[in-house]
Amino acid sequence: MLLVIDCGNTNTVFAVYEDGREEPIGSWRTSTNADRTADEYAVWLTQLMALDALNTGGIDSVIIATVVPATLFNLKTLCRKHFGIDPMVIGQSPTEIGIEVRIDRPEEVGADRVVNAVAAHKLYGGPLIVVDFGTATTFDVVEDDGGYAGGIICPGINLSLEALYMAAAQLPRVAIRPPERMPGDNDPVRVIGKNTRAAMHSGIFWGYVAMIEGLVARIRTEYGRPMKVVGTGGLAALFADWTSAIEIVDDDLTLAGLRMIHDKNRGQTGAA
């Protein structure tokens, strides 16, 4: 079995694939914590896999992508100590991602962004835009041949909400949610809030819809050709219901990309 580890700024996802299967047979999420030890990961993962009738002894290969460098040592120690495996690591030789990164400093692009580009191109062709709703909201351009052409990084939705709450003394903490129709209200997409909470909900929700639509339009204009748009991340489905700018939603894009890169590098191991 293949263990895929996707370590983001907020959450880390572990997923297990059987050989020849494109869908994970199990996946589990934990908060990202650079201080979590290899032994703590092992206890947590072993228990969760056992609940799904899976045995860690069946893991014979691991691939890791992390955007938090401080987590990598303990994740690699987990693989070596508890699975006896030297993992493949995105961004470390000899693991090859299989696409060209066409930006000024290729080493600076986040591992998750190039992994998403690999998966999106293989699954949906190109050119396309990948919109990833994570700690940051990113827009990434993937060309006809799968090359990564750059993109845009914006503050994530929850980060923006928390900053608003922390910086404005009289504003409450609110959560992102879709618009709600009020009793007797015939307009399900009302924008003008009639109280502070409604105004904040409207601002964050419709503000991000406007940002998505505006940036997608500007990227398409600059690129000069029609481009598909793939949304991924926890809030992709929510926003896709309210804007036609997102044409495809794929929550497991990063995991799929890691599996594809592993298959391409099968038989190789990551650097020590």
Binding residues for K(+): 132
What lies within 8 Å, CB to CB, of 214 at 6+ separation is: none
Tell me how far apart the alpha carbons of residues 87 and 2 are, in angstroms, rounded to a whole number.
10
What lies within 8 Å, CB to CB, of 179 at 6+ separation is: 188, 189, 190, 201, 202, 205, 206, 242
What lies within 8 Å, CB to CB, of 140 at 6+ separation is: 113, 116, 117, 129, 130, 132, 148, 150, 151
Q: In what order do the strands lie in the sheet with 61-66?
A: 26-31, 11-17, 2-7, 61-66, 88-89
SS3 assignment, position 230? strand
Binding-site positions for ATP: 6-13, 135
Alpha carbon 53 to its chain centroid, in Å, reads: 27
Which token pair is 134?
A: 């994570």
Binding-site positions for substrate: 110-113, 196
User: Which residues carry out catalysis?
Assistant: 112
Binding-site positions: 6-13, 110-113, 132, 135, 196
* β-strand pairing of 26-31 with 61-66: unpaired
In one-letter notation, the amino acid at residue 124 is: Y
* Residue 172: count of CB within 10 angstroms of its CB: 10
DSSP state letter for 29: E
* Residue 73: count of CB within 10 angstroms of its CB: 12
139: left (phi over 0), alpha (psi -120 to 50) or beta: beta
